[in-house]
Amino acid sequence: MNPKIKNIKTEVLSDNWYTLNKISFDYQMPNGKWVNQSRESYDRGNGATILLYNKVKKTIILIKQFRMPSYVNGNKTGVIIETCAGLLDGDSPEVCVKKEAFEETGIKIEKVKKVFEAYMSPGAVTEIIHFFIGEYNDQMKIGTGGGVDDEHEDIEILEIPHDKALQMITDGEIRDAKTIMLIQYMVLNKIFD
Every domain of the chain and the residues it spans: 5-43, 47-188
Mean pLDDT of the chain: 95
Residue 22 dihedral angles phi and psi, to the nearest 5°: -105, 120
Q: Tell me the pLDDT tens digit for each residue of 6-40.
A: 999 999 999 998 999 999 999 999 999 999 999 99
Fold of 47-188: Nucleoside Triphosphate Pyrophosphohydrolase (3.90.79)
Res 193: pLDDT: 87
Confidence band for 152, pLDDT divided at 50, 70 and 90? confident
Res 143: pLDDT: 86
CA R_g for the chain: 19
- Distance (Å, whole) CA 157 – CA 62: 6
Average pLDDT (132-154) is 88
Res 144: pLDDT: 84
4-27 burial, b at 16+ Cβ within 10 Å, e below that, comes to eeeeeeeeeeeeeeebbbeeebee
Residue 103 dihedral angles phi and psi, to the nearest 5°: -60, -40
Average pLDDT (58-79) is 94
- Distance (Å, whole) CA 100 – CA 80: 17
Find out whether 118 and 129 touch, Cβ atoms under 8 Å. yes
Res 15: pLDDT: 95
Length of the chain counted residue by residue: 193
pTM reported for the whole predicted model: 0.93
Res 154: pLDDT: 86
